[in-house]
Structure 1
Amino acid sequence: MDFNFEAHQQFSLPDRSFLNIFKRDITKIAEAAGFSATETGRVNLVVMEMATNLLKHAGTLGGELLVKPIFGENGTAAGLELLCLDNGPGMSDPQRMMQDGVSTYGSMGQGLGAIKRLSDFFDIYSQRGVGTVILSRIYQKKYIPKSAARSDKKFQVGAVLVPKAGEKVSGDAWGLRMSHEGAYLLTLDGLGHGEHAHEASLTALKAFHQQPKLTPSQMLRGIHAEIKKTRGAVGAIAHWNAEAGNLLFCGIGNISGRLIVPDRSKSLLSYNGTLGMSVPTTINDQHLSWERNNVMILHSDGLKTRWDLQKYPELTRHDPTLIAAVLYKDNTRTTDDTLVVVVRATE
């Protein structure tokens, strides 16, 4: 399974004069990831189509491109993930707009169709009054996975992680450890932002991967003990078991979470405190059911908490990274690092 914990680089395109800089900087990311000239050319075509869409449809309403390398199991850069987020009017029928020759703006209407054809994995979500989010993953030829959707027979996971504007690193982080019938997911927010927050989260991630696979509350206690020399972090661990149909959750601090089931949502509750500084004497795990098509969403306080999935009909059917990107687009505070992780049970 291919999981990518890297932060996204954020690119804004306020007007056409930034287009060459936009293209140049993303080309550098592709080249650094080991893309050949031909493969980089394919990335450039997708970037130009996305940029054209932003300029046409987002305009003064705003939009951005998020880009990050995709790494394989051996740590080698295997591809690029590109997310195009625009706050334009949106489309009532995005599938029709992907047909060549169809356009709401009287152009040739080849943009969305071209992006899909050039991508190894493609997904799109658009609604009138909501805007549009496009997800494209492009792999080097030798690394194209059998399933570019990065799915697993038991669950799918995706994330958007964006540092605060002006920062090179993020104080937010996340990690995943597989268990026999499921996985452990850790989400973190180092106090503040910048290098010291980043260091706190990295230290907590290292401790997470070294902990025995116990309950979330026990693992958080172990992490707490290991990061006392850092500035501290808030964090949460979720552990799901598809065979048993259960989900255990424990959080310390203001990591927010919800479990979405077909007819309702349930908040995932965290204790007051800070890992590495002070945690309650007694902490317990929240026990919930974990069934096919359940969706769990965890995020740092870089995302506003009052988001409502009812605003986005059928969004939960899409790739988890696309779900995270839609929530990020409409709810990021922009004043802090932002992390949104989405997990969907598929079995």
Structure 2
Amino acid sequence: MDFNFSEHHHFALTDRTFLNIIRRDIGKIAEATGFTEAEAGRVSLVITEMSTNLVKHANSKGGELLVKAICEENGKTCGVELICLDNGPGMSDPQRMMEDGVSTYGSMGQGLGAIKRQSDFFDIYSQRGIGTVILSRVYRKGKAPKSGARSEQKFQVGAVLVPKAGEKVSGDGWGMRLSLQGAHLIILDGLGHGEHAHDAAQNALQAFQQQSKQAPSEMLRGVHALIKRTRGAVGAIAQWNTENSSLLFCGIGNIAGRLIMADRAKSLLSYNGTLGMSMPNTINDQHLTWERGNLMILHSDGLKSRWDLSKYPELTRHDPTLIAAVLYKDNTRTTDDTLVVVVRATD
């Protein structure tokens, strides 16, 4: 089974006057996803509460919303993902703040609780001095993923993919091919940004899907050969196998990554070059161990490379998409497309 993943729509909110415009535009995303009026109402309520929190707490430091449709090709899963990025003071006890009537600002204190009640999936991370990130997923009736589906795959994956401000599409992209043993994952960054970079990344994704499932280095050679008529892209492929606890990685260009283990972190190294243009005659796969609890974090150069997970106590216990969102909030360069992909081994 193969997947491609769409990008997030970005909404900056610095003033309450933008709320109606944002609610309207996000409503169009829900409508395009096939939501009924009642289902779209749940999305609207989540957006209203998230936006209200941003206006109250983000102050001059600002905040933003990231929204994308969640629709698998088989139609079994269909919904909307909403992420609230709040650069305000943060909370020392976010779980207590979700109780109705609890507030640090003298309000009714119902915002976080209301968001959680309207969500089919909810996660939150907040620390004093860091800010708050809220993740909500709202699904169409009967279209939420089955509770056991994720555990059967023996891994969890999440991502944040945001185009450069002012661009309609992202030049970054990622895709995944599943197997009974694990998966192959590719992340890509088309040279530059805008339509031509987007086309290069999408062509590379199609080329990735056409390759037989083999070692990452061999698959990258195949991708390289098939995208020579594009402007080119940098990219990396990771392959993990839960049966023998192995992880193979190979990258071309400035794709960055780390494998986070219980006692240490290890950088995932890429070769110099550009897929579709030039790459070394000899490339080899990096061989690593893939064990329960490991995190693999891959990202394009839209994210600063010196991020530090130790700044975020307990973050690694959260949903992979929320982890990606926290890293994006504090480390995006804002001058390029940004992609962050997080994979957790669950077995």
TM-score range, shorter chain: over 0.9
Other-structure match for 2:11: 11
Whether the 8 Å CA contact 1:300–1:338 is kept in 2: the answer is yes
Other-structure match for 1:91: 91
How many residue pairs match? The answer is 347
Whether the 8 Å CA contact 1:2–1:73 is kept in 2: the answer is no
Within a 5 Å distance, the mapping from 1:138-177 to structure 2 comes to 138-147=138-147, 152-177=152-177
For the aligned residue pairs, the C-alpha RMSD in angstroms reads 1.5
- Which stretch shifts more, 72-81 or 22-31? 72-81
Q: CA offset at residue 77 of structure 1?
A: 7.3
Q: In the superposition, relative to structure 1, how do residues 4 and 54 fare at CA in structure 2: closer, same or farther (>3 Å)?
A: farther
Other-structure match for 2:339: 339
Whether the 8 Å CA contact 1:34–1:77 is kept in 2: the answer is no
Within a 5 Å distance, the mapping from 1:1-347 to structure 2 comes to 5-74=5-74, 78-147=78-147, 152-347=152-347
* Structure 2: runs of 5+ lacking an equivalent: none
- Which stretch shifts more, 69-78 or 53-62? 69-78
SS of the aligned residue for 2:329 comes to helix
SS of the aligned residue for 1:298 comes to strand
Q: In the superposition, relative to structure 1, how do residues 65 and 148 fare at CA in structure 2: closer, same or farther (>3 Å)?
A: farther
Whether the 8 Å CA contact 1:99–1:109 is kept in 2: the answer is yes
- Which stretch shifts more, 178-187 or 116-125? 178-187
Identity of aligned pairs, percent?
A: 77
Render the CA deviation track for 1:295-323: whole Å, top value 9, x for unaligned. Answer: 00000000000000000011111000000
Whether the 8 Å CA contact 1:315–1:323 is kept in 2: the answer is yes
Q: In the superposition, relative to structure 1, how do residues 199 and 75 fare at CA in structure 2: closer, same or farther (>3 Å)?
A: farther
Distance 1:22 1:252 in 2: 38
Whether the 8 Å CA contact 2:216–2:248 is kept in 1: the answer is yes
Distance 1:308 1:244 in 2: 30
Whether the 8 Å CA contact 1:4–1:71 is kept in 2: the answer is no
Q: Give the TM-score normalised by the residue count of structure 2.
A: 0.97
Letter in 2 for 1:252: I
Q: In the superposition, relative to structure 1, how do residues 30 and 2 fare at CA in structure 2: closer, same or farther (>3 Å)?
A: farther
Distance 2:149 2:43 in 1: 18
SS of the aligned residue for 1:212 comes to coil
Letter in 2 for 1:185: L
Q: In the superposition, relative to structure 1, how do residues 142 and 4 fare at CA in structure 2: closer, same or farther (>3 Å)?
A: farther
Q: CA offset at residue 228 of structure 1?
A: 0.3
SS of the aligned residue for 1:165 comes to coil
Q: In the superposition, relative to structure 1, how do residues 164 and 148 fare at CA in structure 2: closer, same or farther (>3 Å)?
A: farther
Q: CA offset at residue 179 of structure 1?
A: 2.3
Distance 1:32 1:262 in 2: 42
Q: CA offset at residue 73 of structure 1?
A: 3.8
Q: In the superposition, relative to structure 1, how do residues 283 and 4 fare at CA in structure 2: closer, same or farther (>3 Å)?
A: closer
Whether the 8 Å CA contact 1:175–1:187 is kept in 2: the answer is yes
Distance 2:169 2:69 in 1: 15
